[in-house]
Structure 1
Amino acid sequence: MSRIRQKNQGLIIDVASEQFATHGYAATKMADIAKAADIPKPNVFYYFSSKDKLYYAVLQTVTQPLLEASRPIEELDDPVEALTQYIEAKLRISRDHPHASKVFANEVMSGAKVLPEDIGQELFKQSQMILDKFATWSEEGLMDKVPAHHLMFTIWAATQTYADFSWQICNVMQKDTLDNDDYQQAAEFITQLVIKGCGVTGKA
């Protein structure tokens, strides 16, 4: 892919993310995206032939990192290290893809009516892998016997809230935006909350 094509596609996806996050899928028009990006409407269609394809591309900017975020849980046997890396990765997604994260959250809250089937299937497989690993750690005595589903949901909620409810968080903290130190502090706190609250121990 040429640099110009990559740059233009990136611009369109970034602008579309903000438009979809603000107005929703149904209310967002390709013409609105073109106007916000300050490029001709035909150029948007040149790179993305339909709103569906552009929406899919926006979702991929967050769902691919979400799928990759769980790699430490899949690959590492030490639950302390795996959970630490997983929570850090989840928070990076909220920091680096705030608008796309909101698009994904809005899609889920509306019943995932437009979510492509393949993305839904991959996310389901990921969830099952995480639950299986939690069960393995519990069986090995590396984690208390906690309700695995609710632990997973709690981690999702605690990390994704920094994107989905960014205005509220910034308002309470009296900041225009959160900085890297805020995200690092959040990662350390959430990790300790999970590790201590669930009796997680590392492998010797």
Structure 2
Amino acid sequence: MDTAQQRLNDAFRTRKKAGRIRQQNEANIIRAAEVEFAQNGYKGTSLNAVADRAGLPKSNILYYFKSKFGLYGAVLADILEMWNQAFNDAIVDSDPAEVIYSYIESKIQYSFTHPLASRVFAMEIIQGAPHLEKYLAQDLYNWIEERSQVMQAWIDSGRMKPVAPAHLVFLIWSSTQHYADFGTQVAWCLGREELTEEDFQVATRTLSSVILGGLGLELPERARG
């Protein structure tokens, strides 16, 4: 494995706990980097531009992230951590409807609060995942396998209709991330300049009703009304 790939893997796997000020600085840098990477791609983004947008010296970025590659890896790691955390703790004894609804809800919410992060990830994938290939081949594959085993157990016990678990996850990804990656198109179709929080709430209810209904599940009580 080359040195660059090692650094990217480190960004995914060894994000260490830091003091409050450092956490704030890192979060500020990552948000600024999301904007630059979304607008200019990896090659077109400079650390100077990220530093200017974050209002911090370039030396701070290098101190926290070592290089542009390390910063990019941290941005991608942050995106995947946000997306996956709502499903990470699901176990066989969990309520399938609650788990799946919470996953849809959280991913729609992230499309509302972090649309640029989703677009950075989409650009990486569309380009053939040149920086994410090793991660996708291992960690993400393992994550899908583990989630699939939980869902298959729900299916085997008759708690939801039989489907291909991995493809169910792909369906959730595509439908929820659409509101970030193609938000401009969606807004035009709804006759708006930009999507509102209410639009995302309607999207959550609609997608959840369709997906859970197709699985023979009912919306959790908290989602009705």
What is the TM-score with the length of structure 1 in the denominator? 0.85
Of 5, 9, 13 in structure 1, the residue corresponding to residue 30 of structure 2 is 13
Q: Given the alignment of the two structures, is residue 30 of structure 1 paired with residue 35 of structure 2, yes or no?
A: no
Q: Which residue of 2 aligns with 1:184?
A: 201
CA 1:73–1:2 in 2, change beyond 3 Å: closer, same or farther? closer
Deviations 1:125-182 (A, max 9, x none): 2211222222222222222222333222111111111111111122222334333322
Contact 2:119 2:181 in 1 (8 A): yes
Contact 2:92 2:153 in 1 (8 A): no
Q: Which residue of 1 aligns with 2:185?
A: 168
Q: Percent identity?
A: 36
CA 1:87–1:32 in 2, change beyond 3 Å: closer, same or farther? same
CA 1:73–1:183 in 2, change beyond 3 Å: closer, same or farther? farther
CA positional deviation for 1:190: 0.8
CA positional deviation for 1:38: 4.4
Superposition pairs for residues 1-204 of structure 1, below 5 Å? 1-71=18-88, 73-74=90-91, 76-115=93-132, 117-118=134-135, 121-200=138-217
What is the TM-score with the length of structure 2 in the denominator? 0.78
How many pairs does the alignment contain?
Answer: 202
Query: Please, which runs of 5 or more residues in structure 2 have no aligned partner?
Result: 1-17, 220-225
Aligned alpha-carbon RMSD (Å): 2.4
Q: Give the secondary structure class of the aligned counterpart of 1:146.
A: coil
User: Quick check: 96-105 or 175-184, which moved more?
Assistant: 175-184
CA positional deviation for 1:17: 0.5
